[in-house]
Amino acid sequence: MMSDPPDRVTKARAAYHVIQDAMCAALAGIDGGSFSVDRWARSGGGGGESRVLEGDGSIERAAALHSDVWGETPDRLSDTMAVGSTNFRATGVSVIVHPRNPHAPTLHANLRYFELDDGRSWFGGGADLTPYYLYEEDATHFHRILREVCERHPIADYPHWKRSCDEYFRLPHRGEARGIGGIFFDHITDPTMHEYQVDLGSALIDAYVPILERRSDTPFGADQEEWHLIRRGRYAEFNLVWDRGTRFGLETAGRTESILSSLPPRARWVYRHAPPADTPEAELLEFLSGEPREW
């Protein structure tokens, strides 16, 4: 047991709370609704605070999840990282936003910090965007903000992390990317990652909120909603079949309701659905099925 938490965990945990607060405030401000707050305890040690907004506003569901857990190191922790360790401590924050309007993209972001009792520690995380219609200016804006954060921190490697994100957020069984990517990093031991994560966390609002605002009033009809739901089915497929964090959580008796709050609130599956040629729907699909783009 590490009941007296080392300084770095305390710092990370506090920074993640600030990010959680700021994202909730920004999202609730746009939506007009409010987040419900659930505190939960983990039987093996620690716990978390899950905040979820599910109202009638422009956001159909948003989740801002904070956790700070410790205990015996699970065998499966991060592949082979657990070898030689008996106890671990992990803290993290995740934000997932599923807007109601099909023209507004889904945001996913996660920042996390791990420590093992053999002295090893590392940072992981990232942020990515999943649009249902391809607005190049949105993708360019999102990537520009992420790249600028990276440029302010010597430890950050935007080109590498952008590529890792493209590789990770893929549905091999569909031959499709999940969205327009972002950044993804893991197992970064350098302690200056703390300052990078603080900066990234606060930049998430700039990266996403203006996009959510400018797309939330776009008119849409039943056809666009159907497309939205079909693409959200793909999002559910990625999270349930391929996402390592989701699978690890479900297979190791994590808190199911928090883990699955990343799923879309509604989804649709249609056998062999294919959008008509030369439509915005076909354009998105063509992009997702092709090589990743530099934004």
Residues marked active site are found at 108
Q: Residue 230 carries which side chain, given as an amino acid letter? A: I
Which member of 17, 163, 266, 293 binds a copy of itself (CB under 8 A)?
266
Binding status of residue 276 toward a copy of itself by CB under 8 A: no
Stretch that binds a copy of itself, among 72-80, 184-192, 199-207, 233-241 (CB under 8 A): 233-241
d(CA 121, CA 114): 5
The DSSP output letter for 239 is: I
Region of 78 on the Ramachandran plot (φ > 0 left; ψ -120 to 50 alpha; else beta): left
Residues in the chain: 295
d(CA 285, CA 289): 6
Stretch that binds a copy of itself, among 70-78, 143-151, 207-215, 256-264 (CB under 8 A): 256-264
Q: How many CA atoms lie within 13 A of 26 on its CB side?
A: 23
Q: Which of 9, 130, 108, 126 is nearest to 68 (CA)?
A: 9
Which member of 8, 76, 268, 293 binds a copy of itself (CB under 8 A)?
268
d(CA 50, CA 68): 12
Contacts (CB under 8 A) with a copy of itself, residues 115-174: 172-174
Taking the C-alpha atoms of 231, 232, 236 and 238 in order, what is their torsion angle to the nearest 10 degrees? 40
Binding characters for a copy of itself, 51-80, by CB under 8 A (x = yes): -x-x------x-x-----------------
In the bound state with a copy of itself, the residue whose beta carbon lies nearer, of 108 and 143, is 108
Least distance to a copy of itself from the beta carbon of 165, Å?
Answer: 21
The dihedral through the CA atoms of 271, 128, 17, 121 has a sign that is positive
Region of 175 on the Ramachandran plot (φ > 0 left; ψ -120 to 50 alpha; else beta): left
Which member of 25, 37, 41, 241 binds a copy of itself (CB under 8 A)?
241
Stretch that binds a copy of itself, among 109-117, 154-162, 206-214, 244-252 (CB under 8 A): 244-252
The site that binds a copy of itself (CB under 8 A) totals a number of residues, namely: 35
In the bound state with a copy of itself, the residue whose beta carbon lies nearer, of 89 and 232, is 232
In the bound state with a copy of itself, the residue whose beta carbon lies nearer, of 121 and 246, is 246
Contacts (CB under 8 A) with a copy of itself, residues 167-196: 172-174
Helix or strand holding residue 201 (H, E): helix 193-215
Tokens (6 digits) for 97: 């936003």
For binding to a copy of itself (CB under 8 A), which residues are involved?
Answer: 36, 38, 52, 54, 61, 63, 172-174, 229, 233, 236-237, 240-241, 247, 250-251, 253-254, 256-257, 259-261, 263-272
